Amino acid sequence: MTAFVLALVVGALFALGTFLLLRRDLIRVVWGLAIVGQAANVYLLAMGGLTEGDFETVPILAGHGVDVPATADPLVQALVLTAIVISFGMTAFALVLSYRVYEEHDTLDVSELGDRE
């Protein structure tokens, strides 16, 4: 069940991110990038898989109850933490850049930003 929900969430996030990336408004593009990044993070978490927990793997629960819920892989959580920090920084940078683009061009419409040349 959890796996099914996770798959749905990842799919929905990627769809939303892609949709926003294709907008003409630069801020929406930044939003799209942030959401695609988060979708990748959720996917990464899901890739660790869920395993039956026991008191060996979750020692903090020992002595605090009788059953241990299914647990996620701690390694992917460490990876995602790193990825979140990076994407947080990059989103901030992209927002600053888009403000700078606005200052230089007086518009945030991608189609009016002019030729790449």
Contact footprint for another protein (CB under 8 A): 21, 26, 29, 33, 36-37, 39-41, 43-44, 46-49, 73, 75-76, 79, 82-83, 86-87, 89-90, 93-94, 97-98, 100-101, 104-105, 113-114, 116
Q: Are 27 and 100 in contact (CB under 8 A)?
A: no
- What sign results for the dihedral spanned by CA atoms 50, 55, 59, 65? positive
Nearer to another protein, 33 or 68 (CB): 33
Nearer to another protein, 63 or 114 (CB): 114
Nearer to another protein, 66 or 81 (CB): 81
Q: Are 93 and 34 in contact (CB under 8 A)?
A: no
Which residues does 100 contact at the CB level (< 8 Å), separation at least 6?
A: none
